[in-house]
Amino acid sequence: PSLRDARDYRKADVGSDHYLVRGERKLKLRNQKQPKLKRLLATKELKDLTNANAFTLELRNRFVLLKETKEIEETWQGLRDATVECMQNSI
């Protein structure tokens, strides 16, 4: 980060022997690298009604077995893992 246009205000009454300072900063933000996907799921197979029904049934059964947690990250990981496993098993 670089500091641009820094100014001090000597006449500002703040009840101290310090000066009021104002400045502008320039930030250079970088894009965060996205983790590479391990493998794409075959969602085209769900267009077939028998595969879609098998996937839905297995996914409902998995969601019933998931434990309720207070941590949102644990809940998300459980949902994600259950969905991926059901997709791999049913197709």
Separation CA 86–CA 61 (nearest Å): 10
Strand partners, 21: 8
Least confident of 15-19, 58-62, 76-80: 15-19
H-helix segments, the chain: 49-65, 72-90
The model's pTM is: 0.48
Average pLDDT over residues 40-66: 82
Work out the average pLDDT over 22-31. Answer: 88
